Amino acid sequence: MPGGIAINFSHTFGGMVWNLVAVPGQPVLLLEVRDQEAKKVSFSALNFQANTFLWRDRTLEEPWWVNLSAAATSEILFTVYTDTNNPDKKSVVACALQDLGIRWWKNDFSVLAVRNNRVWGVSSKINSKEEVLDVHSGLPVTDEQFDPRALSESSGIVRPVQYTEGTPYFDTVKTFLERQLNLTAVTALEYLEHNGMIFISCYTANTDTLENHWIALDAEGHALATENLSTGLKGIGLDTFFILGGCVFFVKNKVELVSYKFL
């Protein structure tokens, strides 16, 4: 129905979905999946509009001490930890989005953000100097000053607001959930109004653990979709769902990426 949502896709991976990064200007979501037992990290690139993978479950030369940092329109930046005893010792490697081929590498550099084909970061070679690099070549951009405002620019992702137990807004939503869905929210919840709809992620108590529930409602408060995101939790999460490019995304049971689309 107009103004509603429908399931878009679901993909299950062979490890924990650890990190998600959106590619600016493209309907592509990058995934970092970590297999703790095998000490292996793999990466995938998903076109979420076409529901097709550009590539899936790819690994880099470094099998474990690497993570997904940021993305530009045609490049992906990875952080490689060069000294496992010192997390501050790291390098950045840039790979092509299309095929994950290496474009450039820079030692002793920490990525803070990627904006407008510029990489904003800190070089630890000489007294932690702030530096701006060209994302295509990795070379310093000498005619552009480091601008902290670039670090806070929007990536196009819409995220919920978290409210903790005991605050007025938490109590209001808690009362609503009890009346409408017979759910008793505890600890914290996340709330977002978007596209004429309401989205809530809340926790309920189950003996000494928590369960995480996600609910999509219309403007009148009628539930359109509900999902149990996880059980047996010892603590709460942050940004348990987000909206990007006309789709809602969340990770279910730590290994399954689920998406709904707006109708």
Domains assigned to the chain: 13-152 (2.40.128.630), 161-238 (no CATH)
- Burial 182-212, CB ≥16 within 10 A → b, else e: ebebbbbbbbbeeeebbbbbbbbeeeeebbb
Q: What is the pLDDT of residue 148?
A: 62
pLDDT band of residue 146 (cuts 50, 70, 90) is low
Query: Which residue has 């450039």 as its token pair?
Result: 104
Mean pLDDT of 182-202: 97
Mean pLDDT of 46-57: 97
Q: In the predicted model, is pLDDT for residue 38 greater than 90?
A: yes
CA distance 26 to 154: 14
State the average pLDDT for the chain: 93
pLDDT band of residue 1 (cuts 50, 70, 90) is very low
Mean pLDDT of 49-76: 96
pTM for this model (two decimals)? 0.93
User: Does residue 218 contact residue 180 with C-beta atoms inside 8 Å?
Assistant: no
User: Does residue 200 contact residue 177 with C-beta atoms inside 8 Å?
Assistant: yes
